[in-house]
Structure 1
Amino acid sequence: MLSQIKKSEATIPKIALPQQHEIRYVSVDDIVRCVADNTYTFFFLSNGDKILISKPLKEYADLLKPQGFVRAHQSHLVNPKFVKSWLKEDGGTLLMTNGDKIPVSKPNREMVKEVLVK
Structure 2
Amino acid sequence: MKTMLEKWWEKKHKLITASQIALMQEVMQAQHKPKTKVALPTGEGLEFLEIASIIRCESDNNYTRIFCNDKTQHLICRTLKDVEKVLSENGFIRIHQSHLINPQYMRKLLRNDGGSIVMTDGSELAISRTKKDRIIELLSGVEKL
Aligned-residue Cα RMSD (Å) equals: 1.3
Q: Check if 1:115 corresponds to 2:131.
A: no
State the 1:77 CA deviation: 0.1
| Preserved contact between residue 80 and residue 116 of structure 1 (Cα < 8 Å) | no
Q: Check if 1:43 corresponds to 2:66.
A: yes
Aligned length: 108
Identical-pair percentage: 34
Unaligned runs of 5+ in 1: 1-10
Whole-Å separation in 1 of the counterparts to 2:139 and 2:45: 34
> Which of 103, 107, 122 is equivalent to 1:80?
103
More strand by share: 1
Structure number with greater Rg is 2
TM-score by length of 1: 0.86
Whole-Å separation in 1 of the counterparts to 2:64 and 2:131: 20
Alpha-carbon deviations, 1:52-103, whole Å to 9, x = none?
0001110011111111000000010000000001011111100001110011
> Which of 63, 81, 89 is equivalent to 1:66?
89
TM-score by length of 2: 0.71
Structure with the greater relative contact order (CA < 8 A, sep ≥ 6): 1 or 2?
A: 1
